[in-house]
Amino acid sequence: MKHTIGVAGLAVMGENLVLNMASKGFSVAVYNRTYEKTERFLSGRAEGKEITGFQEIKDFVQSLESPRKILMMLKAGNPVDQFIEQLLPHLEKGDIVIDGGNSNYHDTIRRQNYLEEKGLRFIGTGVSGGEEGALKGPSIMPGGSLEAWPFIEPVFTAAAAKVEDGSSCCAWMGPGGAGHFVKMVHNGIEYGDMQLICEAYHFMKVILQMSPDEIHSVFVRWNEGELSSYLIEITADITAYLDTDGNPLVDKILDAAGQKGTGKWTVNAALDFGVPLSLISESVFGRCLSSFKDLRVAASEQIQGKVSAFEGNKEEILKDLGSALYGAKIISYTQGFGLLQAASEELGWDLNYADIARIWRGGCIIRSVFLDRIADAYTKDMKLANMLLDPYFNTTVTGAQASLRRVIVAAVMAGVPMPCHSAGINYLDGLRTAYLPANLLQAQRDYFGAHMYERIDKARGEWFHTNWTGTGGDTTSTAYSK
Ligand code: 6PG
């Protein structure tokens, strides 16, 4: 009997996905670069299950039913290209290669073109949920060769997380790199959510001088309301976790954040597509700044800052903090979906934003009740120009605005950084300001570079140049409207 699907790469995500698919009744062939790892898996967690291991790639590939479906769960980058080269001699036309790692969407587009030239099909899929999600049901975001999708759909739909209404957290995203792009933006949003939560924690710990127990209770409470989400839930757990000496473990963890790069890619993409993604960008830079631990320690001793203690009403500001966090979160997702929209329009992906919000409701790291609201907004209006123009988000952000301002003012006066919350209010104020000082900026560009400007008393698209100094002349440069 041939196997339904082959999985290459038995690191934690690979192993857990294999066990997940086997538990849904699919027979799985597995391959790992080092065979000892395969043997350990077969005699350990895979024992007694519909899972067969292979030492040679050829045997692994030949054990699969046609068209063959091979899911690579490898480290992103070169290992994926190298493994594709190793697979190629054993594949037949129509076979399907799937990349389930955190690959860069540019690589996915290149790999799809490369394999399709050879008569093969390629799917680049985002898989989110960490090791537990992979085992129990992740959120799955596939894209690439559409003709391959019907062959993969039954396996992925069964393996993905299910939400309360029974729907599966997996949907076809679009052609080319759409799946990996959506996963990348998911990770960018994840960075933003995490930094926002850390800022709220910092506020409680340093400005309000709250005890670990008090902070824990706030996260527990927040998880019962509109902020309810996996990341708030694990934060509540983390803040209650005690080290062997009975003190909170979190307080002993070095404050220098790591990152594998998907947040940085999201910010790069935002720059490429010309989309303001300030909140998520600040979350990436926040991690960078945190990693300069020694420099910060030295600077903390040398640079004086005016720090005043909080003197307002603690209960009131705590209420504000929850609303501020929710408001900033809405703004972050607005920016993230703005990036999805820009990429979809420019690359012709036709992304379905309601589906994206729906498949993020379960299994993935950013899962939350709030994603239902986004799905509703885009179901009502697929062409919504900006999420904040949806009536629910408009009303909620308008309501949260005063809290966001009060929290930021308190933080600024106390000398405690809240870069993501601040980026949030600045974006909101920029968006809701009909007039911005870019008139002056355009004048400056025209002054030193003859880049020309449009006038408010003339039609858009009509360009003017002024010889500001009398010595610049009439020759103009290009207008660059984007
Ligand atoms: C997920 C996570 C996952 C992973 C990231 C985190 O959706 O399951 O996002 O992809 O945890 O690699 O990346 P950083 O190391 O950059 O925080």
pLDDT tens-digit readout, 192-208 = 999 999 999 999 999 99
What mean pLDDT comes out for the span 301-325?
A: 92
Query: Which pLDDT score is estimated for 278?
Result: 98
Q: Give the model's confidence band at 482: pLDDT under 50 very low, under 70 low, under 90 confident, else very high.
A: low
From CA 96, how far away is CA 88, in angstroms rounded? 11
Nearest CA to ligand 1 atom 9: 187
pLDDT of residue 478: 75
Annotated catalytic residue, options 190, 199, 205, 264: 190
What value does the mean pLDDT take over residues 427-432? Answer: 98
Cβ neighbours of residue 482 under 8 Å, at least 6 residues apart?
Answer: 274
* Residue nearest atom 13 in ligand 1 by C-alpha distance: 260
Average confidence (pLDDT) over 85-95? 98
DSSP state of 163: -
Q: What is the pLDDT of residue 303?
A: 95
pLDDT higher than 80, residue 306: no
- Of 452, 448, 451, 453, the C-alpha closest to 471 is 448
Q: Which of 365, 367, 368 to mutate to test the pocket of ligand 1 (most atoms within 8 A of CB)?
A: 365
Active site residue 183: yes
pLDDT exceeds 90 at position 13: yes
Q: Which helix (H) or strand (E) is 127 found in, with range?
A: strand 121-128
pLDDT one-digit tens code per residue, 346-365: 999 999 999 999 999 999 99
What are the structural domains, with CATH classification, of the chain? Answer: 5-176 (3.40.50.720), 183-431 (1.10.1040.10), 436-482 (1.20.5.320)
* 134 CB near ligand 1 (under 6 Å): no
Which of helix, strand or coil describes residue 213?
helix
- 345, amino acid identity: E
Which residue owns the Cα nearest ligand 1 atom 10? 128
| pLDDT in the model for residue 152 | 97
Say which amino acid occupies 418.
M
pLDDT over threshold 70, residue 481: no
B/e letters for 305-327, b = 16+ CB within 10 Å, e = fewer, are eeeeebeeeeeebbebbbbbbbb
50 is an active site residue: no
Which phi and psi angles does 216 have, rounded to 5°?
-55, -45
Residue 77 near ligand 1, beta carbon < 6 Å: no
Per DSSP (E only), the strands in 55-111 are 69-72, 96-99
Range scoring the smallest mean pLDDT among 22-26, 186-190, 460-464, 469-473:
469-473
> 């900026």: which residue's tokens?
441
Which ligand 1 atom sits closest to the C-alpha of 138? 8
Q: Is the pLDDT of residue 268 over 60?
A: yes
Tokens of 36: 């000892």
Ligand 1 centroid to residue 260 C-alpha, Å: 7
Mean pLDDT, residues 453-473 taken together: 95
- pLDDT tens sequence across 142-172: 999 999 999 999 999 999 999 999 999 999 9
Residue nearest (by alpha carbon) to ligand 1 atom 1 = 128
Closest CA to 423 of 320, 281, 271, 291: 281
Average pLDDT of the segment spanning 6-23: 98
3-state secondary structure of 385: coil
Is 307 a residue whose pLDDT tops 80?
A: no
Concatenate the DSSP letters of all residues of 235-304 into one string: HHHHHH-B-TTSSBGGGGS-S-----SHHHHHHHHHHHHT---HHHHHHHHHHHHHH-HHHHHHHHHHS-
Indicate if ligand 1 lies below 6 Å from the C-beta of 259.
Answer: yes
